[in-house]
Structure 1
Amino acid sequence: MFCNAMNLCTASSSSSLTGIRIVSPTPTNNNKKSCKQIHHQPRSSSSSFSLTITHHPQLPFSSSYAFPLRSFSSRSYSHSTIVRAVSQKESLRVMISGAPASGKGTQCRLITNKYGLVHVAAGDLLRAEIETGSENGKSAKEYMEKGQLVPDEIVVMMVKERLLKPDSVENGWLLDGYPRSLSQATALKELGFKPDIFILLEVSEDTLVDRVVGRRLDPVTGKIYHLKYSPPETKEIADRLTQRFDDTEEKVKLRLNTHHQNVEAVLSMYKDITIKINGNASQEEVFAQIDGALTTLLEQRKASSESMAAHKNIV
Structure 2
Amino acid sequence: MAAISTCGVNFRAGGKSQRPPPSSPPPYASLCPPSSVSAKTPKLFFSSKLSVASSNSCISLRSNQTLFTPRLGKSHGTALVVASAKPEPLKIMISGAPASGKGTQCELITKKYGLVHVAAGDLLRAEIASGSENGKRAKEYMEKGQLVPNEIVATIVKERLLKPDAQENGWLLDGYPRSMSQATALMEFDFQPDVFILLEVPEGLLVERVVGRRLDPVTGRIYHLKYSPPENEEIAARLTQRFDDTEEKVKLRLRTHHQNVEAVLSLYKDVTLKVDGSVSKEEVFSQIDLALTKLFEDRKATSGTLAA
Range of TM-score over shorter length: 0.5 to 0.7
User: In the alignment, which of 62, 69, 86 is matched to residue 47 of structure 2?
Assistant: 69
Taking only aligned residues, the RMSD between alpha carbons, in angstroms, comes to: 3.1
Q: Spell out, residue by residue over 1:256-299, the C-alpha distance to the aligned partner (whole angstroms, 9 max, x if none).
A: 11111111221111111111100111111001000101101011
Q: Distance in 1 between the 2:260 and 2:180 partners? A: 7
- How far 1:126 sits from its partner (Å)? 3.4
Q: Spell out, residue by residue over 1:193-228, the C-alpha distance to the aligned partner (whole angstroms, 9 max, x if none).
A: 111111110011111111112212223323221122
Matched, 1:172 2:170: yes
Q: Spell out, residue by residue over 1:226-262, the C-alpha distance to the aligned partner (whole angstroms, 9 max, x if none).
A: 1221111122222333333433333322221111111
Q: Distance in 1 between the 2:209 and 2:128 partners? A: 25
Q: 3-state DSSP class of the match of 1:194?
A: coil
Q: Distance in 1 between the 2:170 and 2:143 partners? A: 30
Aligned length: 239
User: In the alignment, which of 271, 277, 281 is matched to residue 279 of structure 1?
Assistant: 277
Larger radius of gyration: 2
Distance 1:203-1:129 versus aligned 2 partners, 3 A rule: same
Q: Which residue of 1 aligns with 2:197?
A: 199
Q: Which residue of 2 aligns with 1:209?
A: 207
Q: Which residue of 2 aligns with 1:264?
A: 262
Q: Which amino acid aligns with 1:269?
A: L
TM-score, normalised to structure 2, is 0.68
Q: Identity across aligned pairs (percent)?
A: 68
- How far 1:186 sits from its partner (Å)? 1.2
Q: Distance in 2 between the 1:293 and 1:305 partners? A: 18
Matched, 1:96 2:94: yes
Q: 3-state DSSP class of the match of 2:65?
A: strand
Q: Which residue of 2 aligns with 1:223?
A: 221
Q: Which residue of 2 aligns with 1:78?
A: none
Q: Which residue of 1 aligns with 2:295?
A: 297
What are the equivalent positions in structure 2 for 1:1-315 lying under 5 Å apart? 51=27, 68-69=46-47, 84-87=63-66, 90-128=88-126, 136-137=138-139, 139-140=141-142, 150-309=148-307
Distance 1:253-1:154 versus aligned 2 partners, 3 A rule: farther
Q: Which amino acid aligns with 2:177?
A: P
Q: Distance in 2 between the 1:247 and 1:263 partners? A: 21
Q: Distance in 1 between the 2:209 and 2:127 partners? A: 26
Distance 1:104-1:138 versus aligned 2 partners, 3 A rule: farther
- How far 1:169 sits from its partner (Å)? 1.6
- How far 1:134 sits from its partner (Å)? 5.0
Distance 1:243-1:129 versus aligned 2 partners, 3 A rule: farther
Q: Distance in 2 between the 1:305 and 1:138 partners? A: 47
Distance 1:161-1:246 versus aligned 2 partners, 3 A rule: farther
Distance 1:251-1:102 versus aligned 2 partners, 3 A rule: same
- The answer to whether the Cα contact below 8 Å between 2:195 and 2:273 also exists between their aligned partners in 1 is yes
| Structure in which a larger fraction of residues adopt helix | 1
**Structure 1 unaligned runs (5+)?**
1-22, 28-49, 55-66, 71-82, 311-315
**Structure 2 unaligned runs (5+)?**
1-18, 31-44, 49-61, 67-85
Q: Which amino acid aligns with 1:85?
A: N
Q: 3-state DSSP class of the match of 1:51?
A: coil
TM-score, normalised to structure 1, is 0.67
Q: Distance in 2 between the 1:281 and 1:102 partners? A: 10
- The answer to whether the Cα contact below 8 Å between 2:197 and 2:274 also exists between their aligned partners in 1 is yes
Q: Distance in 2 between the 1:196 and 1:171 partners? A: 14
- The answer to whether the Cα contact below 8 Å between 1:130 and 1:141 also exists between their aligned partners in 2 is no
- How far 1:135 sits from its partner (Å)? 5.1
Q: Spell out, residue by residue over 1:160-204, the C-alpha distance to the aligned partner (whole angstroms, 9 max, x if none).
A: 121122221222111111011111111111112111111110011
- The answer to whether the Cα contact below 8 Å between 2:217 and 2:238 also exists between their aligned partners in 1 is yes
